[in-house]
Amino acid sequence: MDFDLSEDLVMVRDAAREFAAKEVAPGAAARDLSAEFPMAQFAAAAALGFTGVVVPESLGGAGLTNQALAVILIEINRACASTGVTLSVHNSLVCAPIVKWGSEDLKRRCLPDLAAGRKLGAYSLSEAGCGSDAAALQCAARDEGDHFVVEGTKLWVTNASHADVFVVFVRTAKLEKKHQGITALLVDRDTPGFRVSRKEDKMGIRASSTCELVFDGARVPKANVLGEIGRGFPIAMDTLDGGRIGIAAQAVGIAQASLDAAVRYAKERRQFGRPIADFQAIQFKIADMKARIEAASLMVMRAAWLKDLGRPHAAEAAQAKLLASRTGNFAAREAVQIHGGAGYLEDFPVERYMRDARITEIYEGTTEVQRLVIARHVLDAK
């Protein structure tokens, strides 16, 4: 057993840390205020291979591991959670399923542009009546020979404002079991009859875009099916298992940023004639934050390691997301408390961390859904 990052992972982490400090952190607060999508940061990330981390080199990617992706996402989210989720969705929810489930033709058509950051990806499962109950989706696709014709509306699609390629889950057959008859389609932004509609105004990750998609007779070639027709639901779930490691990494990044800010402030701020870091009440908060961040990081890396080995990781990814997202929220809240009144102002980053942390307990499966997944694995274990 070895808890150290390998030499390669240390190099990746250091490159991501430097990139995050130079290219992502500056302007993160301003982008949060203006809700400006981090397109420039996405483009800059491409130069380091961060837009195609797990895409094989033969298809233009960096050919790295899921552990490398986790390390990169922790560092980038430490600087800006909006940029972090943009890259997490692009890598884990779009590039990864195309690598795993795409036909050779689809991989060759899509992956080089996605991996090089010339195109941005989005993942669309949720609808008005389908969130936690993902298999209840209604958006329908009619079979017309070599095409599907898609009708319906999808909601809450991260990256949609700027995305070029959308992984979309649609119903291609109404069968007795609702998780059957779902198909994963790759939809190009310029498909006639398809448009990106309303953009949501959010509490946190405000620079990330979250939009509605409208399909009005959109013709999508069958050559764009991921995996098999009617077998899309397992692809949606398998993809989310990987995505949850990314969101857990996001939460660790936010938690670490919260701790960094809290330590900085606690050493500077003086009350009763001494730095507040001298007070045990403050030290205990810092100790609890640190211990929980360490635990969450280890869980993130273990889930990524299992995925790299091709071993089952659904329960471990759910555990990592459950623990890390709670840690992100805990650490951000404690960081605000350590800042006192200053923590409530926009002058300090911790109020942004607290707003950003909130979403990690909601998207890619709520905290309650993670507990359902974990409990099912425990109770079903032989």
Ligand X SMILES: Cc1cc2nc3c(=O)[nH]c(=O)nc-3n(C[C@H](O)[C@H](O)[C@H](O)COP(=O)(O)OP(=O)(O)OC[C@H]3O[C@@H](n4cnc5c(N)ncnc54)[C@H](O)[C@@H]3O)c2cc1C
Catalytic residues: 364
For the record, the structure tokens of 222 come out as 């069958």
Q: Which residues bind ligand X (CB under 6 A)?
A: 89, 123-126, 131-132, 156-158, 202, 210, 359, 362-366, 368-369, 372
Instruction: Please give the full DSSP string across 275-338, using - where no structure is assigned.
Output: EGGGSHHHHHHHHHHHHHHHHHHHHHHHHHHHHHTT---HHHHHHHHHHHHHHHHHHHHHHHHH
**Minimum distance between the CB of residue 202 and ligand X, rounded to whole angstroms?**
6
Between 23 and 361, CB nearer to ligand X:
361
**Minimum distance between the CB of residue 18 and ligand X, rounded to whole angstroms?**
28
User: Which position has the token pair 């590039």?
Assistant: 95
Which residues, including other chains, have CB under 8 Å from residue 221's CB and lie 6 or more apart? 146, 147
**Minimum distance between the CB of residue 186 and ligand X, rounded to whole angstroms?**
15
**Minimum distance between the CB of residue 369 and ligand X, rounded to whole angstroms?**
6
Between 251 and 261, CB nearer to ligand X:
251
Residue 233: closest CA among 312, 179, 313: 179
| 367: exposed, middle or buried (Cβ count in 10 Å: 0-12, 13-18, 19+) | middle
**Minimum distance between the CB of residue 366 and ligand X, rounded to whole angstroms?**
3
**Minimum distance between the CB of residue 157 and ligand X, rounded to whole angstroms?**
5
Between 114 and 286, CB nearer to ligand X:
114
Q: Which residue is nearest to ligand X (CB)?
A: 131
Q: Where are the alpha helices (H) located in 164-279, listed in sequence order?
A: 232-268
**Residue 96, SS3?**
helix
Between 154 and 302, CB nearer to ligand X:
154
Return the number of other C-beta atoms located less than 10 Å from residue 340's C-beta.
Answer: 12
Question: How far is it, in rounded angstroms, from Cα 338 to Cα 372?
Answer: 34
The torsion angle over the Cα atoms of residues 81, 84, 86 and 90, rounded to 10 degrees, is: -160
Question: How far is it, in rounded angstroms, from Cα 258 to Cα 251?
Answer: 10
Q: How far is CA 288 from CA 162, 295, 353, in A?
A: 39, 11, 17
Which residues, including other chains, have CB under 8 Å from residue 280's CB and lie 6 or more apart? none
In DSSP terms, 274 is beta-bridged to: 271
**Minimum distance between the CB of residue 242 and ligand X, rounded to whole angstroms?**
14
